[in-house]
Structure 1
């Protein structure tokens, strides 16, 4: 046996002895670590599958509840959504609570709908974006059923330039201000929405429409200032008939001269009666209407 072979055999034996010593000392720990790694991997995979199954089930239940609402079965829809809000998985409980408010609003229950949205908005366990959206939804309902202060208390904090929901928040306040009679505040907010290039098309379009409504808005006429004219109700007393022709009281059918008062004008403002005869002209009038009307040519032989 050569020296190289001898040394190689000795080295192999020493190496085996070291491995046996390590396994004897740490073998149990190594085996436990391997088992733990396998179990952990299996647990993670199983948990992911469970979460997916639960989320799919909650999603299916949520869609089924929305279908009930679309079919008009709103009471059944609310009951199903309440079940999801309690037993649902993931984000579906929060979405179900938001949908409950929407269904209650469709049922013409504004107070209950606002209470549902307020409960979501005040729940610190709900993600902030959903809380903000709930506040906006409540504000829109309160435009009709609440006051300007009610709307401001919910969305005033969302009107800042850095807030994602600033546009609907400003629109809700503007609508509430217009309803409350504060036209200047409403006009200013609608103008800001119209001028902001980042505003959604729907909101900017409604802002333009509301600005036109505000600009055209005038106090309503009293009932005493409106009376039927020629059998048509609702025409102001001061409106002259659109088809007046000829001199009042004349049967000639000749068109009235420029400035001739209408037939229903007061007697003091009517044109002077024409004179008849050869080469005659209308007699001068001593009434104030002379300054605004031309004499009417007389009828008869020249």
Structure 2
């Protein structure tokens, strides 16, 4: 509620102040109205363009994923060389996952066709791609190192795979085997044996890698037999899983006949 002016002079000053404020607002509106309207229009256009772009990107990613799945089917049917031609444009798309999977698929087909250089180039591209998921970059690093192992210095192998050669790492078994072989090339037999023993005792490692590590560690003079009971249990579990009958597929949801009410 407005205060009652104490004197006529106060009322006059209040009126002058109100008129001045009103004049300033009108002047501001006249001077900047066009700019404000233009700014709003630009904002709306930019927002609309972004939403359109986002929608187009989603459509493009969906189309690329469908194309990739079709290529996988083609590879599975033995048409690897034809599939590689379709993979080529997908290897440079902006979608990180599609690009990565296309390169890995091309590398696998190239390796199957004894095209070592093409496979190596694809694995290197994935390993060096900072946009690719770490799991795939690590896979590519291990595979590329395995391909060019004989051309690398042992110290290069050890240094390259050092981040992965740690118990508990998903790639410990694969990276550890390559690192241990590099140690052998350096003449570090005992160190290689201990690393194979570590692989043998790693419960997260594949059964075949652990079994192989037990044998190699033994030939190098390192006893890894403590892992044998656990290996036997793991082998039994794998056999039971393979022997188990497949689970029946879930029944498809039934739809009501046309014209009926639920």
When normalised by structure 2's length, the TM-score is 0.61
Quick one: structure 1 residues 103 and 147, their matched pair in 2 at CA, closer, same or farther if it must change by over 3 Å? same
Shift of 1:136: 0.8
Q: What is the distance in 1 between the residues matched to 2:64 and 2:31?
A: 51
Q: What is the distance in 2 between the residues matched to 1:150 and 1:69?
A: 35
Partners of 2:165 and 2:179 within 8 A in 1: no
Specify the alignment match of 2:94 in structure 1.
89
Specify the alignment match of 2:213 in structure 1.
210
Bigger shift: 70-79 or 159-168?
159-168
- Secondary structure (helix, strand or coil) at the match of 1:72 reads coil
Shift of 1:79: 1.0
Which of 24, 27, 38 pairs up with 2:33?
Answer: 27
Unaligned residue ranges in structure 2 (runs of 5+): 6-10, 221-262
Which of 72, 79, 82 pairs up with 1:76?
Answer: 82
Shift of 1:140: 3.4
Shift of 1:152: 6.0
Shift of 1:80: 1.1
Shift of 1:69: 1.1
1:229-258: CA deviation from partner (whole Å, max 9, x where unpaired)? xxxxxxxxxxxxxxxxxxxxxxxxxxxxxx
Shift of 1:85: 1.3
Q: Does 1:137 align with 2:140?
A: no
Shift of 1:138: 1.7
- Let me know the Cα RMSD of the aligned residues: 4.0
Quick one: structure 1 residues 27 and 126, their matched pair in 2 at CA, closer, same or farther if it must change by over 3 Å? closer
Count residues with an aligned counterpart: 206
Quick one: structure 1 residues 150 and 99, their matched pair in 2 at CA, closer, same or farther if it must change by over 3 Å? farther
Unaligned residue ranges in structure 1 (runs of 5+): 218-302
Shift of 1:209: 3.3
Q: What is the distance in 2 between the residues matched to 1:178 and 1:211?
A: 16
Q: What is the distance in 2 between the residues matched to 1:23 and 1:69?
A: 67
- Secondary structure (helix, strand or coil) at the match of 1:46 reads helix
Quick one: structure 1 residues 188 and 78, their matched pair in 2 at CA, closer, same or farther if it must change by over 3 Å? same
- Secondary structure (helix, strand or coil) at the match of 1:147 reads helix
Q: More helix per residue: 1 or 2?
A: 2
Partners of 1:190 and 1:208 within 8 A in 2: no
When normalised by structure 1's length, the TM-score is 0.54
- Larger relative contact order (Cα-Cα within 8 Å, sequence gap ≥ 6): 2
Specify the alignment match of 1:263 in structure 2.
none
Partners of 2:120 and 2:147 within 8 A in 1: yes
In the TM superposition, 1:50-129 aligns within 5 A as 50-86=56-92, 88-91=93-96, 92-121=98-127, 123=128, 127=132, 129=134
